[in-house]
Amino acid sequence: MQEPTITADLIAAHGLKPDEYDRILSIIGRAPSFTELGIFSAMWNEHCSYKSSKKWLRTLPTDGPQVICGPGENAGVVDIGDGQAVVFKMESHNHPSYIEPHQGAATGIGGILRDVFTMGARPIAAMDSLSFGRPEHPKTPHLVKGVVEGIGAYGNAFGVPNVGGEVRFHRSYDGNCLVNAFAAGLADADGIFYSAASGVGMPVVYLGAKTGRDGVGGATMASAEFDDTIEDKRPTVQVGDPFTEKCLLEACLELMASGAVISIQDMGAAGLTCSAVEMGDKGGLGIRLQLDAVPQRETNMTAYEMMLSESQERMLMVLKPEKEAEARAIFEKWDLDFAIVGETIAEDRFLILHGNDVKADLPLSKLSSSAPEYDRPWIETPAARPCAPLPPIRPVEALRKLIGSPSYAHKGWVWQQYDTQVGADTIRRPGLGAGVVRVHGTRKALAFTADVTPRYVRANPVEGGKQAVAEAFRNLCAVGALPLATTDNLNFGNPEKPEIMGQLVGAIKGIGEACRALDFPIVSGNVSLYNETDGTGILPTPTIGGVGLIDDLSNLIAGLPSEGDIAILIGTTQGHLGQSALAAEAFGIETGDAPPVDLAAERRHGEFIRANRAHLRAATDLSDGGLGLAAFEMAEAAGIGLRLDSDDIAGLYAEDQARYLVACDAEGAAALLRGAEAAGVSAAQVGSFGGVAVQMGEDAGDLADLSRLYRSAFASAIGSDRPDHA
């Protein structure tokens, strides 16, 4: 095949700026081949190189006594005692999911699962943070149905419980939904596998499914804005097979146990290119590949296509040569491909052969660690204008506005399509706060949550970044878990716009401050930029995935309130309604500042909740919708009514931070209030649970009526009873 001539248009189509192309010329001293251009494009795009964010990501806290492996590997690793570790990461599949919702979301799950088991961990939990446009937008119902179906189809078939997450709707996501997938797994703390190659002349082995043309250019596509040519990008979306992935998991874990693995890397973004380069670069070695040996499921594939394919369910490994026969037998048993496709070399070279032709010969180190790094200009987000007083509204009507909105309605329609119980270790399913999964065969459990409030981040990136971390911290504390570490998925618009870059910088500053104050380090993550359509960006959405440890199941807080229980509010209410859910959903008002985050209070109140768990029947943090929404959700889950003493709208629906609502029996309430006074923690009785009404001051509504609205609003908003013809 005649390779295309390198032109300015071809360079631009690969997402490379003229100065970046000039940099390529200076590195290799000649014009690149077509395959080499594709390799540079893949390695230097935003999705793989983090060229706009590296400078700021380095400021995040990543260490702690519990951290075994921080950012830089496929996933983060944290010690959970008894020789065990939890391995976890969150990653975006935003662009593919908008183009082809089912496959885009499905392969997002597949990719994040591979990131976990590449480290030697067996996946035990998944979560998703999903952001969609307005329900009335013509494409939104199609996207919601396709994404949820794709997540369920892949995760259920693979066999991992989906235990938590969040779903929101906002007009800013009309043309660019967000699909952030999280996975966690268990491994022996001394049995973690890393990606750095070692040893010269070691075989480089291709594992898993065959390579096709699906996903070619996927990483570059994910680093570009959308416009009216969006449908043309459909071929860049990968196609996944969860049953092959399950076989790959079992084969990899068996292979790792055999002692054959020197290093291993999943083939994700940029496929064979990125996995080979990262293994070589981390080990200070070169890589030679012979593409004729690559298992292919399509005919006449070019070197360019094989190097940039993002076909799923594939791994790359550096193998101990003496273990070849044993390793091959394992993969043949699982009906997977096993092919030696190259070797490690001493020279700093990435040498790609196809037949007798050299298709690429590049300095390997210049492709990854020497990728461009930008200190982009940024503008600090201006201080938000105060929020005007909200129009009058009765407390129960305010509640109706919230629970009738798909962002705050019951999400059963979503998570009931997921297998939440596979593995039989799920203790707390989605629906209320953090999900909880037992560490199999022990008395320990792990809690998982994903949190961010994008409205806050837009109004005040620093406080919004702090709040996302603080909310994750609270959700873990509310189930009795000690917060261990976080993973972040930073979703923003075009970083070349100083105001957008300012949002990213501010959010990272806030996230870093909160993680340091709460001993809650970032151990893995992902940055997704250029989330824009026709020049309009999404709300800044830096999602925080939090993981916590319950050292003994007796310390779990996962009950529901009972008839006659007392409702106690932990924390101080100032009445902050700026950027609140009530203002947005009841009145369409998105003004004011984000609520301030007192990190010392967050820590103090979280520690108080965990220390006093024996007195609590149930607990939840207060976030969107404040006390009114949290109390209703807690009561409704238990099938009982509630009475809150006040009908003050600010007191009920303010979103002041560092607050929890707990349910206690009379004896527990008395002990908790005494303990709070002794600890200097604000705590007050605010009502009680029971009956068949939802009463706030003198205003009341029927629980059954409100429950029907709450449990039907999501499906109604997306027209789930209508066929999807999009």
Residues tagged active-site: 47, 93
Which residues are 337's β-sheet partners? 208
List the one residue out of 342, 317, 335 whose CA is nearest residue 255.
317
Q: Which residue has the tokens 């406080």?
A: 463
Asked if 337 and 331 count as a contact pair (C-beta separation under 8 A), the reply is yes
Distances (CA, A) of 296 to 272, 379, 411: 13, 48, 41
* Distance of alpha carbon 359 from alpha carbon 306, whole angstroms: 11
How far is 393 from 222, CA to CA, in rounded Å? 43
Taking the CA of residue 404 as centre, how many other CA atoms within 13 Å lie in the half-sphere pointing to its CB?
Answer: 12
Determine the Cα angle at 450 with ends 447 and 452, to 5°.
145
Q: Which of 273, 341, 264 is nearest to 309 (CA)?
A: 273
Cα 415 to chain centroid, rounded: 16
- Tokens describing residue 562: 């009972």
How many beta carbons lie within 10 A of that of residue 666, not counting itself?
A: 10
**Other beta carbons within 10 Å of 475:** 27
| Cα angle 10, 15, 16; round to 5 | 80
- Name the DSSP class of 238: -
Alpha carbon distances (Å) from 379 to 409, 492, 503, 531: 36, 15, 8, 19
- The Cα 127–Cα 9 span in angstroms is 40
Residue 600: CB atoms within 10 Å: 10
Whether the CB-CB separation of 613 and 557 falls below 8 Å is answered with yes
| Count of CB atoms situated within 10 Å of the CB of 104 | 26
- Two structure tokens written together for 588: 């369409």
For 684, counting Cβ atoms within 10 Å of its Cβ (0-12 exposed, 13-18 middle, 19+ buried), the class is: middle
Closest by Cα among 203, 255, 274, 316 to 50: 274
Angle between helices 395-403 and 626-638 (to 10 degrees): 70
List the end-to-end C-alpha distance of the chain, in Å, as a whole number.
Answer: 38
In angstroms, the Cα distances linking 171 to 135, 223, 390 are 9, 22, 21
Nearest-Å Rg of the Cα atoms of the chain is: 26
Distance separating alpha carbons of residues 16 and 51, to the nearest angstrom: 12
